[in-house]
A and B are shown apart, each in its own frame.
Chain A
Amino acid sequence: MITFLLQGLRISGPYVLAALAGVFSETGGVVNIALEGILLNGALAAVLAAYWTGSPWLGVLAGVLAGVAAAGIHAFAALRYKVDQVISGLAVNFLVAGLSRFLLKLVFNSTSNSARVEGLAPWAGVDPFLVLTVLIVIASHWTIKRTVFGLRLRAVGEHPRAAETLGIKVLRMRLWGVLISGALAGLGGAWLSLDQHQFTDAMSGGRGYIALAAVIIGKWTPLGAAAAALFFGFAEASQIILQTYGLRVPTQFVQMIPYALTLAAVAGLIGRSRPPAADGIPYSDEQD
């Protein structure tokens, strides 16, 4: 039971961070389907940095920065050039998928996985990622609900023109939302790869998309999205445990559980969970 709990938390971590990332981006009004690619980019950069420097903590830092960089591309296309946000996000996903394969081949001469790297040493027996994530969940909730930044971010995601009339720089706020999103999802990616001590091709495995579902189920709030992400994480953990029990069900069906749950949960919520009013709608400063 304890192992199940711990494993559930471990697996949930990247989901939780990616879901929070989604909340920050979409609260500001930018749909961030690039979460998948940001996770992958963070995972890759973390392993590369840990491999080259020997320090897993520098790996974590690199993961965060790589997440910000990938999010920056999305922000640049979506905010500066008003590219459709879904298209721009998908482009980032494809870009990172290709780039990571290229670097795997180049650095590790492999098509599937990197060399093994050292993971983070536990703090008093607890995974530092877990501690960080708990703190980040609380900080995110506090940031959105209590700070000036959070209030303004919500405003630009709901009614950007109203925010602009009050002197708030809409695009700058949105940029911050997306960059924070990148940092969080990049950290999630670092957790994913350092936890396994290596990077494997396409290791994000759809977690970015599931995180988006968690954002919807969590009604675009940090606590709600984190709770929904935990739910998906535990669904995946139970799937792994069910497999080890050797049920007489094809493993493919057991592996489907988290995705089927996602579909069911999102379908059940259609119409009851309302996104920020201006989510996904490009904003330009001067239009009449």
Chain B
Amino acid sequence: MSGLAVELRGIVKRYPRVVANDGVDLSVESGTIHALIGENGAGKSTLMKILYGMVRPDEGTLSINGKPADFSGPRDAIIAGIGMVHQHFMLVKPLSVAENVVLGSEPGASAVGTWDQDGAKAEVARLSKEYGVKVESSAVVETLSVGEEQRVEILKVLYRGAKILILDEPTAVLTPHECDELFKTLKGLRAAGSTILFISHKLKEVMSLCDAATVMRRGKTVGTKKISETSQNELAQMMIGDLEIKEKAAVPYRGEASEVLRLENVSVRGPRDELALKGVSLSLKAGEVLGVAGVEGNGQRELAEVVCGLSAAAEGRVTRGGRVGYVPEDRHHAGLMLAAAAWENMLLGRHWEPVFSTPFRLQRGAIAGYGRKIIADYDLRPPELEQEAGAFSGGNQQKIIVGREVSKDPKILVAAHPTRGVDWGASALIHQKILETKAAGAGVLLISADLDEVLSLSDRIIVLFSGRVMGEVARADAKIEKLGCWMAGVSGT
């Protein structure tokens, strides 16, 4: 090992309501994959923004490759060889993949201000091939799936030749196979001398991929461990401290297993007017979790939207047995009004209920009581009903959505990637709430790219590939290999 690639000392960053970083130290050896782990709200994102020059620390020092650094913006960080793959993608949707990749560092700039558009496409195609990051360089970003968008983000960093890469929860959106591919890529980059900062909630990944891990909790660093000298349990303990983890209590549903949702030969058109869902039939019963596994972009979004009635079926019939609760895949786009207060978001779609409003007046007392119940049930942090939804961390935003959707007592709950980008503690809580909803007699349609999640919650599992149901299996009979084949489009039993 050749010295420290990144050294942060005594970093403090205060925001009006909260101290995000409170004396953080971080040392990353050059040429290693270093994990930064901690619950949401622990201050990881802020620390990475400081390292990437997006946020200036109030106190503390930063050195890159042994040299003191003072970034006044991301451009300085990029020049210093730092690249960032953001958790919330930073992509300009109407632009093409190639344009997004080169934006800010356009190749072949001429005296009259043009740039080499064909050269950019070729270069992106070359990088895409060389690192095995598959994406069409001339495609427009808004037509891509979430998984593809992330690949564009990785290409952006590679294009800039970054030697220190920050990846903010990169695997949250990937399938197991894509994760393996990503890990191969990252190990290849490490072999080539790159340093990688890997932010994750998934300790299993950290253990298998990283060389060392630094744990953060509540704005402070708890400690740094070599992976070879620690265990998953030790890291988990450092992460959550003395907090008690609630066990998943799988209370069985004892009512009548009547059908709550039926799809008959349902086809739905996708964003490019192609059939994204092709003749899907399924049945969901009360007190059942039906897991929908599959590589993202194989009709999952269309399935969720047609079940919720957000898009119309081009063919076939959808029969619902009652109210639908919906936890959408992109909480910023569909689940929340980021600029509105937490209580307003909790009330969304329920504001007309007589408990909450008379024709001319909101029942503020009842609303506050309802909001405080969600805060208590979900351990919402900070416990502020008036705070803007956008000011909560990702995990807490998701708690607001799940709290709202679950508390309206749905007959059908559609949960699309409910724990994506959500920390471990919040994930466990959300999983427990899903199981409680099931126990209360709802049918749950759980759509997730995270196979562990599908396997741990579902009673039955179907796999979507290319808009079709590749196969269906009861949880007890599910084998990873078989699911993996189905996800790759290989049928057979």
Which of A151, A168, A288 meets B95, CB within 8 Å? A151
Q: Is A149 an interface residue (CB 8 A)?
A: yes
Which of B20, B92, B113 meets A162, CB within 8 Å? B92
Interchain CB contact under 8 A, B104 and A166:
yes
Q: Is A197 an interface residue (CB 8 A)?
A: no
Contact A167 B74, CB 8 Å, known A147-B114, A148-B109, A148-B113: yes
Interchain CB contact under 8 A, B94 and A143:
no
Interchain CB contact under 8 A, A155 and B103:
yes
* Interchain Cβ contacts within 8 Å, total number: 77
Q: Is B424 an interface residue (CB 8 A)?
A: no
Interchain CB contact under 8 A, A158 and B93:
yes
Residues of A within 8 A of B185 (CB): none
Residues of B within 8 A of A143 (CB): 113
Interchain CB contact under 8 A, B103 and A151:
yes
Give Cα A277 to B112, complex, Å: 28
Interchain CB contact under 8 A, B73 and A162:
no
Residues of A within 8 A of B49 (CB): 288
Q: Is B52 an interface residue (CB 8 A)?
A: yes
Interchain CB contact under 8 A, B74 and A162:
no
Interchain CB contact under 8 A, A161 and B104:
no
Residues of B within 8 A of A155 (CB): 92, 95, 103
Q: Of residues 109 to 133 in B, which have CB atoms within 8 Å of A's CB atoms?
A: 109, 112-115, 117
Q: Is A244 an interface residue (CB 8 A)?
A: no
**How many A residues face the partner with a CB closer than 8 A?**
23
Which of B46, B92, B109, B117 meets A163, CB within 8 Å? B92
Q: Is B196 an interface residue (CB 8 A)?
A: no
Residues of A within 8 A of B457 (CB): none
Q: Is A159 an interface residue (CB 8 A)?
A: yes
Q: Is B15 an interface residue (CB 8 A)?
A: yes
Q: Is B54 an interface residue (CB 8 A)?
A: yes
Q: Is B106 an interface residue (CB 8 A)?
A: yes
Give Cα A40 to B69, complex, Å: 50
Interchain CB contact under 8 A, B92 and A146:
no
Q: Is B99 an interface residue (CB 8 A)?
A: yes
Interchain CB contact under 8 A, B86 and A165:
yes
Which of A147, A154, A165, A169 meets B90, CB within 8 Å? A165
Give Cα A7 to B90, complex, Å: 48
Interchain CB contact under 8 A, B106 and A148:
yes
Residues of B within 8 A of A158 (CB): 92-95
Which of A147, A149, A167, A286 meets B75, CB within 8 Å? A167
Q: Is A174 an interface residue (CB 8 A)?
A: no
Interchain CB contact under 8 A, B95 and A154:
yes
Interchain CB contact under 8 A, A165 and B115:
no
Contact A167 B104, CB 8 Å, known A149-B113, A155-B95, A158-B93: yes
Contact A164 B54, CB 8 Å, known A151-B99, A288-B15: yes
Q: Of residues 180 to 235 in A, which have CB atoms within 8 Å of B's CB atoms?
A: none
Q: Is B144 an interface residue (CB 8 A)?
A: no
CB closest residue in chain A, given B88: A161
Interchain CB contact under 8 A, A152 and B90:
no
Main secondary structure of the interface of B (DSSP, over half): loop
Q: Of residues 193 to 237 in B, which have CB atoms within 8 Å of A's CB atoms?
A: none
Interchain CB contact under 8 A, A167 and B73:
yes
Interchain CB contact under 8 A, A168 and B90:
no
Give Cα A288 to B75, complex, Å: 19
Residues of A within 8 A of B117 (CB): 146
Interchain CB contact under 8 A, B74 and A166:
yes
Q: Is B78 an interface residue (CB 8 A)?
A: yes
Interchain CB contact under 8 A, A152 and B104:
yes
Give Cα A135 to B20, complex, Å: 53
Render A127-159 as a binary contact track against B, CB cut-off 8 A, 1 for contact.
Answer: 000000000000000010011110110110011
Interchain CB contact under 8 A, A147 and B95:
no
CB closest residue in chain B, given A169: B73
Interchain CB contact under 8 A, B105 and A151:
no
Most buried by B among A147, A163, A165, A167: A165
Q: Is B55 an interface residue (CB 8 A)?
A: yes
Give Cα A151 to B92, complex, Å: 10
Residues of B within 8 A of A154 (CB): 92, 94-95
Residues of B within 8 A of A277 (CB): 93
Render B29-56 as a binary contact track against A, CB cut-off 8 A, 1 for contact.
Answer: 0000000000000000010010010111
Residues of A within 8 A of B78 (CB): 166-167
- For residue B71, give the distance in angstroms from its CB to the closest CB of chain A: 11
Which of A149, A162, A164, A288 meets B91, CB within 8 Å? A162
- For residue A271, give the distance in angstroms from its CB to the closest CB of chain B: 16
Residues of A within 8 A of B84 (CB): 165
Interchain CB contact under 8 A, A166 and B103:
yes
Which of A146, A159, A286 meets B55, CB within 8 Å? A286
Give Cα A163 to B92, complex, Å: 8
- For residue B47, give the distance in angstroms from its CB to the closest CB of chain A: 12
Give Cα A164 to B86, complex, Å: 13
Give Cα A130 to B60, complex, Å: 60
Render A83-126 as a binary contact track against B, CB cut-off 8 A, 1 for contact.
Answer: 00000000000000000000000000000000000000000000
- For residue A287, give the distance in angstroms from its CB to the closest CB of chain B: 10
- Other 12 A-B pairs with CB < 8 A, given A147-B115, A165-B90, A288-B46: A146-B115, A152-B104, A154-B92, A159-B90, A162-B90, A164-B73, A165-B52, A165-B74, A165-B86, A166-B74, A166-B156, A168-B104
What are 21 inter-chain pairs, A to B, with CB distance below 8 A?
A143-B113, A148-B115, A151-B106, A151-B115, A155-B92, A158-B93, A159-B90, A159-B92, A161-B90, A162-B91, A163-B92, A164-B73, A164-B74, A165-B54, A166-B90, A166-B103, A166-B156, A167-B75, A167-B78, A168-B104, A288-B15
B interface residues with partner A (beta carbon < 8 Å): 15, 20, 46, 49, 52, 54-56, 73-75, 78, 84, 86, 90-95, 99, 103-106, 109, 112-115, 117, 156
The 10 closest A-B pairs by CB, nearest first: A167-B75, A166-B104, A162-B90, A147-B113, A158-B92, A159-B92, A155-B92, A148-B106, A146-B114, A165-B90
